[in-house]
């Protein structure tokens, strides 16, 4: 028996396994676990599913590339065009806002000019609560008086240039006293602080130029609260 065992070699075992497939399969079952035995089959299943996934992915990739080429790029171009149009529209709106602002200012100026001319044309009516025998001092007459006062050293060049912009200047007799005065009036649709200040300042200049009492007056369809308060402090009358 010892001699028989000594004759068994590794090569001999391999040859015997090759000659007897059942022995080889039995040896496998002994050495390998169930999971290892099923590994080749599982790998084939995985490979099959991977190939299916790869096929679907390639299809998705192709559709995605078509989307980019046919839909996304044209859409992006349209968005870019819309953004450009919006930018141009914003500029147009800004220009329109400026135009509207200028138009509003022009309309306000026009309304003021129309109102001022109405006061000139109907001076006796507008100043009737304050004066009797109201007479309009024309622009030419007023400028001549200011120029004479400037040449006589009664007023300065700056005062002359300021007073010459008075809206309406009239003379008349104050009701109840019969004293003759000159009224320097600032006319505005909405009287504000600046109108009161101009009326007060230009009345003082006119008084020096004519060497006669002059009264500052503001006349408008509306008057702000701060203008009303300032008129009281500056002795400017509100009509």
Contact 191, 218 (CB under 8 A): yes
Q: What does the block give as tokens for 17? A: 């396994």
- pLDDT grade, residue 106 (50/70/90)? very low
Task: Give, in order, the Cα–Cα distances in Å from 139 to each of 121, 132, 166, 216, 231.
Answer: 13, 21, 9, 17, 25
Higher pLDDT, 142 or 89: 142
Above 60 in pLDDT, residue 112?
no
- How much is the average pLDDT of 102-121? 66
Pairing between strand 180-191 and 168-174? antiparallel
- How much is the average pLDDT of 60-75? 75
Above 50 in pLDDT, residue 53?
yes
- Give every CB contact of residue 210 below 8 A, 6+ residues apart in sequence: 145, 149, 182
The fraction of the chain above a pLDDT of 90, given in percent, is 40
Q: Which CATH number fits domain 122-238: 3.20.20, 3.40.1350, 3.40.210, 1.20.120?
A: 3.40.1350
- Helix (H) or strand (E) holding 70, with range, is none
CA 62, distance to chain mean position in Å, is 46
Above 50 in pLDDT, residue 2?
no
Beta-bridge mates of residue 183: 170, 215
Above 70 in pLDDT, residue 107?
no
Above 70 in pLDDT, residue 64?
yes
Above 90 in pLDDT, residue 135?
yes
Average pLDDT across the chain, whole number: 82
The fraction of the chain above a pLDDT of 70, given in percent, is 86
Contact 178, 213 (CB under 8 A): no
Q: Which residue ranges make up each domain of the chain?
A: 122-238
Burial class of residue 168, CB neighbours in 10 A (0-12, 13-18, 19+): buried
In this prediction, residue 7 carries a pLDDT of 65
């Amino acid at each position: 028996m010892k001699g028989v065992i000594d004759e068994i070699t590794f090569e001999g075992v391999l040859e015997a396994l090759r000659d007897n497939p059942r022995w080889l399969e039995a040896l496998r079952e002994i050495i390998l676990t169930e999971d290892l035995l099923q590994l080749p089959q599982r790998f084939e299943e995985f490979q099959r599913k991977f190939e299916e996934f790869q096929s679907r992915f390639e299809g998705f990739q192709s559709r995605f590339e078509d989307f980019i080429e046919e839909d996304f790029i044209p859409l992006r171009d349209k968005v870019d065009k819309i953004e450009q149009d919006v930018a141009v529209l914003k500029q147009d709106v800004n220009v329109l806002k400026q135009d509207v602002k200028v138009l509003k200012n022009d309309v306000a100026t026009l309304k003021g000019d129309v109102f001022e001319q109405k006061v000139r044309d109907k001076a006796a009516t507008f100043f009737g609560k304050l004066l009797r025998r109201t007479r309009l001092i024309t622009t030419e007459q007023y400028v001549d008086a200011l120029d004479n006062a400037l040449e006589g050293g009664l007023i300065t060049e700056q005062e002359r240039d300021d007073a010459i912009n008075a809206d309406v200047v009239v003379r008349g007799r104050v009701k109840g006293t019969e004293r003759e005065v000159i009224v320097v009036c600032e006319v505005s649709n909405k009287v504000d602080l600046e109108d009161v200040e101009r009326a007060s300042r230009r009345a003082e200049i006119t008084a020096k130029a004519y060497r006669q009492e002059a009264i500052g007056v503001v006349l408008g369809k509306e008057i702000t609260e701060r203008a009303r308060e300032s008129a009281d402090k500056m002795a400017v009358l509100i009509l």
